[in-house]
Amino acid sequence: MNHAYIDQDNELENGDGAEELYERNRFVVTKGQEPIRIDKYLLSKIEGATRNKIQKGIENNFVLVNNQPVKSNYKVKPGDAIVTFSENSPESHEIVPEDLPLNIVHEDSQILIVNKVPGMVVHPGCGNYSGTLVNGVVGYLKRKDPELTEDKLPRFGLVHRIDKNTSGLMVLAKCEQASFFLAKQFFEHTVERKYIALVWGDFEEDSGTVRAHIGRHQRFRKIMAAYPDGDHGKEATTHYRVIERFGYTTLIECKLETGRTHQIRVHMQLIGHPLFNDDTYGGDRIVKGTIYTKYKQFVENCFAMCPRHALHAQTLGFVHPETKKMIRFESEIPNDMKSVIEKWRNYAAVKNIQ
């Protein structure tokens, strides 16, 4: 059987969870450094790097010296400030093609846009080696062209991910050029990403911003935590806007400025509004409202209607790697979230608690 290969990093939640798959490294050339080619210099500085990857990164303007792109033969000198964008994915795993149902929103020679269903892991790893989105994409490509062999399969790449139980839009690159071009946009925060979320509680304001570093929990390493003082993790910024109020819950839109693992979920927990039915960050219990039997039964019925955290990646916009024009995609809220939103809307109207 033919296989494709894809890189993956050390993941959370059964191989799914991190948003951006590229990270930044910064180096300042020290005094006394002899003038050597920048590709050779970076080879000694970046763990796991290869000269080929470094040179390709330089070709795609993923290496900046004093905020300017350079050529591979540039020779570093003391005081140079070097910034690199590098893959955060050291391991490789075989991808077995599978015939899986996929909702492909758009496809061309450079990219695939997929509307991921909740419950589907994005790529193999950590105990999930089949049934993933990527398995389905490889199977789809082979069905389109049965003559594809391992060495001819497009080296498509993930430049971002969404959580297993988050639904919505994802872009995959079908070639290396597109992968670099898209990854740079994600890293530079120029990609438009909007999510719809149902969260616990009401907001005093109609909009706001959460800024707090996000990193692995210091004690429970399989989950993430917010660090408002910036003493751990990486900077993260989420902008939110109230769409509709239901008294005990609120429907909001979240716009990501950064893309950290579980960012919206962790930030909403931090400000006291965990996502509805988020069993990792405290949303799978009654957070707001009474504890009377009828209300408890109502909430449990809502949990049953939407048996996952209520988060949907609705909008995705970016500059196309070939046309260099801005394109934007929208995705409808899936039925499980629609149903629970309508149930809360009716409850709020009857109880007059909006």
The proportion of the chain whose per-residue pLDDT surpasses 90, expressed as a percent, equals 58
Reply yes or no on whether the pLDDT at 6 is more than 50. Answer: no
The proportion of the chain whose per-residue pLDDT surpasses 70, expressed as a percent, equals 86
Q: What is the mean pLDDT of the chain?
A: 86
CA-CA distance, 318 to 111, in Å (whole number)? 11
Strands 157-158 and 224-227: unpaired
pLDDT digits (tens, 9 = 90+) for 72-93: 999 999 999 998 876 554 345 5
Write down the number of H helices and E strands in the chain. 7, 18
SS3 content of the chain, % helix, strand, coil (to 5): 20, 30, 45
Q: Crossing angle, helix 335-351 and helix 293-305, to 10 degrees?
A: 160
First to last CA, the chain: 57
pLDDT digits (tens, 9 = 90+) for 171-187: 999 887 888 889 888 87
Sheet holding 81-87, edge to edge: 22-28, 81-87, 63-65, 68-69
User: Residue type for 97, please?
Assistant: P
Residue with the bigger pLDDT between 25 and 205: it is: 205
Lowest mean pLDDT among 84-98, 140-154, 321-335: 84-98
pLDDT band (50, 70, 90) for residue 66: very high
Please tell me the predicted confidence (pLDDT) of residue 164.
93
Are the C-beta atoms of 1 and 142 separated by less than 8 Å?
no
CA-CA distance, 320 to 313, in Å (whole number)? 19
Average pLDDT over residues 261-277: 97
Please tell me the predicted confidence (pLDDT) of residue 44.
86
pLDDT digits (tens, 9 = 90+) for 93-125: 567 889 999 999 999 999 999 999 999 998 877
Please tell me the predicted confidence (pLDDT) of residue 7.
35
Are the C-beta atoms of 80 and 28 separated by less than 8 Å?
yes
Sign of the alpha-carbon dihedral angle for 183, 188, 191, 193: positive
- DSSP state, 191? S
Please tell me the predicted confidence (pLDDT) of residue 149.
64
9 noted as active-site residue: no
Reply yes or no on whether the pLDDT at 11 is more than 50. Answer: no
Which residues of the chain does CATH 3.10.290.10 include?
Answer: 23-87
Which residues of the chain does CATH 3.30.2350.10 include?
Answer: 192-351
Reply yes or no on whether the pLDDT at 345 is more than 50. Answer: yes
Q: Crossing angle, helix 176-187 and helix 51-59, to 10 degrees?
A: 70
Question: 79: closest CA among 64, 66, 61, 97?
Answer: 66
CATH architecture of 23-87: Roll (3.10)
Please tell me the predicted confidence (pLDDT) of residue 87.
57
Please tell me the predicted confidence (pLDDT) of residue 352.
74
CA-CA distance, 224 to 261, in Å (whole number)? 7
The conformational region for residue 59 under phi > 0 = left, psi -120 to 50 = alpha, else beta, is alpha
Reply yes or no on whether the pLDDT at 151 is more than 70. Answer: no
pTM (2 d.p.):
0.82
Lowest mean pLDDT among 14-28, 42-56, 221-235, 326-340: 14-28
Please tell me the predicted confidence (pLDDT) of residue 16.
41
**Active-site choice (16, 80, 163, 336):** 163
The conformational region for residue 146 under phi > 0 = left, psi -120 to 50 = alpha, else beta, is alpha
Residues 6+ apart with CB under 8 A from 92: 5, 6, 7, 8
Question: 200: closest CA among 294, 270, 281, 272?
Answer: 272
Please tell me the predicted confidence (pLDDT) of residue 125.
73
pLDDT digits (tens, 9 = 90+) for 14-37: 334 445 555 667 889 999 899 999
Neighbours of 32 (CB within 10 A): 6
CATH architecture of 192-351: 2-Layer Sandwich (3.30)
pLDDT band (50, 70, 90) for residue 49: confident
Chain centroid offset of residue 239 CA: 16
